[in-house]
Amino acid sequence: MRCRIILVLLAALCLLVSVAAAQETQTNPLVISLEKPVHFTGSDGNDIVAAPGAYQVEQMEETTLRLVPVGEGESNRSALTIQAIAAPHAETLSVPVALSFSEGKDEHHVVLLLPDSKGLDAQGSYSGVRSRALRRPISPTVIRQQVVRIPAIRPIVGIQPAIPGIVKPPISIRPDTVTAPSQALADLKSRTMALKIEFPSVATATMLGQQLDNALARRPQAPTTFQRFPIVARPLTSANLNLLASFIGKRINYEDLMKLGLTREQVIGLSFTALNMQSYNQAKEEYQRLLAVTQNPVIKQQLTTLWNQWSSGFVAMFKSYGLTTVTEATVATWSSNLKVSPVRTQLEHIMVTAAPSITTIENSAGVAVAPSSNSEATTDEGTSDHDICSQPLASGALLDYSYYVSYDWTEDIPYPCPTWRKPWKICWKTVTLFTFELNVEISIGYEITCTGGSAWAYGDASTTLYDLTMSCSVGGTAVIGAAETREGNSCKYGFGITAHIGCQILGISFGGDYPVAGLLVTAPCPDNLSGDNLAEALKNVMQAQAGQIPNTQIVGNIPYLAYQSYFAYVGSGVTTYGLQEYIIARLAPHYGETLLREVRIGASHYTSGDNAMTDCKTTYFPSGSGVIALLKGGNIFDKGSDDNFTHERELKWLTHELQHARQCEDIGGRPMYAERWFGELGWTVCRELITDPSSVSAKSIHNSMPMEAEAEQKAIQVLDALKRVP
């Protein structure tokens, strides 16, 4: 949503701009432009390069897009069919829309959005080196940020008068309510072909500051259960912007704020200044855009007068909130600092997508409301002495444990906005600065066979909740039950989990879902199948068999369980092979013969492009990449006439993945390797999001993991050593 600074006043000025000056080029929503060559994956799995120029984007099949050259130089370019993945979105569209944008330094996306909330995302790169991680669709949040930049569908658009150049004063429009930008402009256009804006007749700086003070004085008292924190604005220096980026990524508690040298009041004050400066920047961009398109000197002067009043109003506002020495030059410096800060992306997202809560001054909501938090831990343990076989799940036979914690930090931030009823009014934006949620439900049990069918018996689990960090949420559901029935005096117990891991920071969310996987444990059957005795028996069985589970805290190691689930998905249906003897002999000096004989390789349908995933000592190369066929039946060390390796790409790929097997061996096996793998992945995601949100992508995340960098360096060293051997 465009800033309320220019919601009505500046937007309505668009009606005064002449047709010749304000006419914007109407473009085909399916045409995109590539500024430089981009490497995509073709429909046959091979690398394909799209040359710079304009292309019309078409859907070919469920997972492919077609780029058809249009415009200048189209005869010198060929149509391309490229692979894409599903990209659901939340946009309201009447026609398909194509997007083209970069993410990070090397990744480029061509996205086709369809009106039914479906979409396709073709992911490419400028370098031709594609990510080794599983491809993830672009998030709806990123799509939203790109959509609002399209002039044809952005919330505020330029509208010409029906009769160019004719202005009939004094027409005054006073809508009953302040509506969304697009609706407000539609109302204006439907009610008049031209209009005159009545500006405030006096400078607004003093009045604006006084109105802000009045709004705070009249706000209802905060609930007695919360402490009221008044706003004291903080200067938006480069150092403070770095602090803002730091606390955005931290778990929200007083200890972490203290470590950063921040009080809660400082956090609120800095957020207040940052949000208002984002409003300032958006208003200034709109002012400069309107100034550039109008040729009428009177309108130019009106625009400049309005902007000067508004700029001085910002200075007065910051002074009234404690920054008594601030000047317009100071605000200009803050504006420049914000434009180059990674925090700008989060703030843009808030100002675009957050629906503001607008009230009159007299009915204004409170400011600096303390966080709403809800924390509860509950257990629901039923007991039953009935016959489980005759009534499997009746009368509370289900025994489970649930734990739920949520925390939201929201603030109502005031900022000045124009209205039709008064020259100025105070608007409020409710902003969720941080949120995390943990929801774990655990059930333990085994399947028993009764006459006429099967039933499940459940028991309570001892739990150790995963320690949350970085404002990330970890939610999981673990179900432990038997995959088979009683075998003599033994039963088989199963343990599986589906986990979701994600973060939401200043409205930007990311995460991933991991499918179900499980373990089987054979142990004595319980002697008693009822009530608390059953729960205790099942708990004892699982704890006694903890040696078959990597962590004695059965539910405590959620990252490892999610790791297992992830690779159970990647390895589904894959046949694996050992390395050939000639490969073992040649690479033994670098990795060790024993390790190489334990390595398994296979081709997975769940990896693609240049992706390969290594689960300890098992590597899954993409199906169709040809790597497995080469390793099984060819000679990966073949050299050409120039004495270079014919298959250098595949050889480097293999040596990179073998270093992951070495990492697994050195760290002590799969559980410890999984902990490092998953731990580094999670930290990298959060770190990238904190330091440079625009760079967050599957490629940058995966390749910036320390263990990935280590493997890549090892591959370079091994390849160099192999080249020196005749």
- Name the packing angle between helices 581-591 and 706-724 (round to 10°): 110
Query: Tokens 């739920």 belong to which residue?
Result: 404
More confident residue, 120 or 534: 120
pLDDT interval class at 273 (50, 70, 90): confident
For residues 375-384, average pLDDT: 27
**pLDDT band at 525, cuts 50/70/90?**
low
Q: What is the pLDDT of residue 517?
A: 30
- How many domains does one find in the chain? 4
Which of the residue ranges 29-43, 153-167, 303-317 has the most confident prediction, judged by mean pLDDT?
29-43
Band (544; pLDDT cuts 50, 70, 90): low
Res 394 pLDDT > 60:
no
Q: Is residue 292 part of a domain?
A: yes
| Domain closes at, from 513, 547, 569 | 569
Q: Summarize pLDDT for 471-517 with one digit per residue, the tens.
A: 222 222 222 333 333 445 555 444 333 333 333 333 333 333 332 23
pLDDT exceeds 50 at position 120: yes
Picking from 83, 116, 147, the residue at the C-terminal end of a domain is 147
Q: Are 307 and 6 in contact (CB under 8 A)?
A: no
Q: Supply the pLDDT for residue 233.
A: 80
Whether residues 520 and 400 fall in one domain: yes
Q: Are residues 336 and 254 in the same domain?
A: yes
Give the mean pLDDT of the chain.
Answer: 58
Is residue 688 in some structural domain?
yes
In this predicted model, which residue has the larger pLDDT, 218 or 357?
218
SS3 545: coil
676 belongs to a structural domain: yes
Residue 361 lies in a domain: no
Residue 251: is its pLDDT beyond 50? no
- DSSP 8-state assignment for residue 299: H
| Beta strands, E only, 506-565 | 508-524
Residue 595 confidence (pLDDT): 92
pLDDT of 587 higher than 90: yes
In a domain, 172, yes or no: yes
Q: Identify which has the larger pLDDT, 261 or 432.
A: 261
For residue 18, the SS3 value is coil
Q: Are residues 185 and 127 both part of a single domain? A: no
Q: One-letter amino acid identity for 88? A: P
DSSP letter for 530, please. S
Which residues 6+ apart lie within 8 Å of 638 measured at CB?
Answer: 645, 646, 647
pLDDT tier, 702 (very low <50, low <70, confident <90, very high otherwise): low
pLDDT at 195: 24
Query: How does residue 655 score in pLDDT terms, banded at 50, 70 and 90?
Result: very high
- Check residue 564 and give its pLDDT: 62
pLDDT of residue 524: 58
pLDDT beyond 80 at 402: no
Whether 626 maps to a domain, the answer reads: yes
Clarify whether residues 460 and 586 are in a common domain: no
578 and 564 in a single domain? The answer is: no
Domain that holds residue 593: 573-724
Report the pLDDT averaged over residues 375-394. Answer: 28
Cβ(615)–Cβ(136) under 8 Å?
A: no
Mean predicted confidence (pLDDT) in 188-200: 28
Instruction: Summarize the confidence of residues 365-378 as an average pLDDT.
Output: 25
Question: Residue 501 forms beta bridges with which residues?
Answer: 474, 512
Count the neighbouring beta carbons within 10 Å of the beta carbon of residue 50: 22
| Res. 600 pLDDT band, cuts 50 70 90 | very high
Do 297 and 254 lie in one domain? The reply is yes
Supply the pLDDT for residue 548. Answer: 42
pLDDT at 658 over 90: yes
Per-range mean pLDDT, top range of 208-217, 275-284, 377-386, 472-481:
275-284
The answer on 565 and 580 residing in a single domain is no
Residue 113, pLDDT above cutoff 50: yes
pLDDT at 662 exceeding the cut of 90: yes
Higher pLDDT, 66 or 243: 66
Adjacent-strand bridge partners of 601: 577, 619
- 11 found inside a domain: no
Predicted pLDDT of residue 340: 85
Residues 602 and 641 in one domain: yes
Packing angle, helices 581-591 and 648-667, rounded to 10:
60
pLDDT at position 371: 25
Instruction: Give residue-wise pLDDT tens across range 432-484.
Output: 544 433 333 333 333 333 222 222 332 222 222 122 222 222 222 222 333 33
202 shares a domain with 345? yes
| Residue 272 falls inside a structural domain | yes
Question: In angstroms, rounded to a whole number, what is the distance separating the alpha carbons of residues 673 and 664?
Answer: 5
Query: How far apart, in Å, are the Cα atoms of 291 and each of 17, 207, 308?
Result: 10, 26, 13
Same-domain check for residues 404 and 551? yes
- Alpha-carbon gap, residue 584 to 132, rounded angstroms: 24
| Same-domain status, 63 and 211 | no
| Residue 244 pLDDT grade (very low, low, confident, very high; cuts 50, 70, 90) | confident
Are 583 and 638 a contacting pair, CB within 8 Å? no
Rounded to an integer, the average pLDDT of 33-40 is 89
Q: Tell me how long the chain is.
A: 726
Residue 584: the pLDDT is: 92
pLDDT > 90: percent of the chain: 6
Look at 83-97, 302-316, 395-409 and tell me which has the smallest mean pLDDT.
395-409
Q: Is the pLDDT of residue 277 over 60?
A: yes
Per-residue pLDDT of 42-99, as tens digits, reads: 888 888 999 988 888 888 777 888 898 887 777 778 889 998 888 888 777 767 888 9
Residue 392 pLDDT > 80, yes or no? Answer: no
Element (H, E) at 446: strand 425-450
534, 569, 604 — which closes off a domain? 569
Q: Which pLDDT belongs to residue 710? A: 86
Task: List pLDDT tens digits, range 546-573.
Answer: 444 333 233 334 445 556 655 666 777 7
Q: 77 and 186 in one domain?
A: no
**What local confidence, expressed as pLDDT, does residue 94 receive?**
66
Q: What is the share, in percent, of the chain residues with pLDDT greater than 70?
A: 43
